[in-house]
Amino acid sequence: MGSVSDRISGATNSLVGKAKEAIGKETGDVKLAAEGAAQDAKGKIQTAAGKAKAAIGE
């Protein structure tokens, strides 16, 4: 993946993850909240990878 697509995927995963986590907490669904937190973390890692690739010119 290129830096731009990593950053877009990362932002999307982070946004969806935060939403899932919030919904899970609000409804008492621990599994959904945990899944959302994990997806948010994955998104942050993807975004960071995209930024790193852009910094090195990949």
* pLDDT tens-digit readout, 2-52: 889 999 999 999 999 999 999 999 999 999 999 999 999 999 999 999 999
Read off the amino acid at residue 45. I
* pTM reported for the whole predicted model: 0.87
Burial category of 17 from C-beta neighbours within 10 Å (exposed 0-12, middle 13-18, buried 19 and up) = buried
Q: Where are the domains of the chain?
A: 4-56
Rounded CA separation 56/34 (Å): 33
Q: Given this model, what pLDDT does residue 1 score?
A: 61
pLDDT over threshold 80, residue 58: no
